[in-house]
Structure 1
Amino acid sequence: MTDQGNGSGRDTVIRLANRLSELDRLHAFFDELGGRSDWPDKLKWDLTLSCEELLTNTINYGFPRDDGNYLITVAVNVEPGRIEITLEDEGIAFNPLEQEQPDIHLGIEERDIGGLGIFFVRKLMSEVVYERTDAGNRIVLRKFL
């Protein structure tokens, strides 16, 4: 974890390789940051789960070749009353917000595979914003406290 400041309003950043094994580092990152920031366990869980879902999708589908080594940046900015997380990658363009909402009222046998992760991210976060930049994808998650 790199910390570009330890006060409120500064970003705390971690850069993760495009490997599923990096999810352990993501969990440790939020455990440490949540401990320093005195976040309730549910808040840590909501933030970690949202990032894990988005990172898993990016790692599994966002890079055109399996042989490439890419970094995914997660930056957390804590302000009074809000937490903002920015995830950036150099993967192929993918706006998760354009995905069709799953019908959660269908039974498991009737439901299509996938789609629930983005649904949960939208439910757990106050705002989710996607932007395609010159460098790649940027997703901003905001949680209002």
Structure 2
Amino acid sequence: MNAKQLLGVSALALASATAFAQTVPAEQWVGAPITSASSTLSRSAVTSDYAASRSMASAPSELRVGPADAAPGAMSRAEVSADLSLWIKSGMSQVANQDSYDPSSGAYRTQMAAYQRMRNGPEFVAEVQRRKGASAPTATTAKYNSGTPTY
């Protein structure tokens, strides 16, 4: 008998819950619907506004620390290659890639001073000239004697 009574009470509870349920309009859940009005701006106006916002997104010069960024293509391939070569020759590639990297250590400052001295001195100019000379195509002449080249 207890099972019948329990089943009856649960059926009554379920029926009463659905009888008092109220429906809620969707606007109360998610807010008023957004009106879909077409844009009043032309495509070119939107594009120019976007370009203007991108140019204003960079940090003002008075908030920058250090020198200004170089423009794309400001350094030639030979200059970049020469800079990397001097970075390696000065030992900075080994000091800066250590697990115990400490830019305030004496070894780091010594290596950085050596790199900056070479980068701002005649070594950089000589290395750039060497790189430009190495990248220039070399012309070779070959003489053919009965079908075999002789250099």
- TM-score, normalising length: structure 1: 0.24
Q: Rg: which structure is higher? A: 2
Q: Comparing both structures, which one devotes a greater share of its residues to helix?
A: 2
TM-score (norm 2): 0.23
User: Could you say which structure has the greater relative contact order, defined with CA pairs below 8 angstroms and 6 or more residues apart?
Assistant: 1
